Amino acid sequence: MIRKMSTAQPLKKLVSCVILDLDGTLLNTGWKESFSVIIGGDEVRLGKPSPEIFLEVAKRLNVDPSSCLVIEDSLPGVTAGRAAGMEVVAVPSIPKQPHLYTLADEVINSLLDLRPEKWGLPPFQDWIKDTLPLEPWHIGGPVVKGFGRGSKVLGIPTANLSTEGYGSLLSEHPSGVYFGWAGLSKRGVFKMVMSIGWNPYFNNTEKTIEPWLLHNFDEDFYGEELRLIIVGYIRPEANFSSLQSLIEKIHHDRKVAEEALDLPLFSKYKDDPYLKSST
């Protein structure tokens, strides 16, 4: 939970309280000093959706509940926060079910999409040219056939990767639009923008990995080994009112990725040996 303060306050004091619902493991990870108040579910009589634990937090912080912002992933937690008279941002733990969180003041896809300035808090300073730098992560495999939408419907040919063997990675990284570098074993290294998720406009039933290599190729390269280094995040996945608006947004993502990848912060990964490996 966050106590809303003046924007003159340092960002490290942004989060004032953490509520522990489970075993308190967080206390052993070096985060303890980051919070003004830490409270466990065993310190109140009633658990969520009762507002008791949030009201106890406000009491310990010596602030009015209305000056607090709750960030919750569960429906009982959202209900509890609202019942406490606090504003609530929901980060749903249930995939593709944001409509269930109607009590929240805002529903976001992941904490990557939290914008504190919307709530009178100091903005994060991490964003650079509409991108959020990430600790680089890697993924690779042979290029496979997708749904046939990229070239035929969107005019945007993607080099799809199979999700087989990447279940834990897909659950670890929120759905959204990312960017980085792509290495093809026989062709070289290219800029890349990529979606991970369900593509709401097409209502996929499975989470997919769909990189768009920002280069005009003369032929398909199905089966060729593709290596990716993902270095940044652009936006959450979203639904669109029309196919044209979707296409325009994808091309805007391309522009953002291309410009960002020219920055030294991101361009240095172009020479990563992982991209040039053929195994």
Residues recognised as catalytic: 210
Place of tokens 């419907």: 153
The full 3-state SS of 22-63, as one line of letters, equals CCCHHHHCCCHHHCCEEEEHHHCCCCCCCCHHHHHHHHHHCC
Distance CA 138, CA 276 (A): 13
Which residue has 């290599």 as its token pair?
Answer: 213
Q: Which of 254, 12, 224, 46 is nearest to 150 (CA)?
A: 254
CB-CB contact of 143 with 209 (8 Å) = no
Amino acid 151 reads S
Given a contact cutoff of 8 angstroms between Cβ atoms, the answer to whether 243 and 149 are in contact is no
> Which amino acid, 98?
P
Strand pairing partners for 230?
Answer: 137, 180
Report whether the peptide linkage leading into residue 49 is cis, meaning its omega lies within 30 degrees of zero.
Answer: yes
The owner of tokens 């079910």 is 97
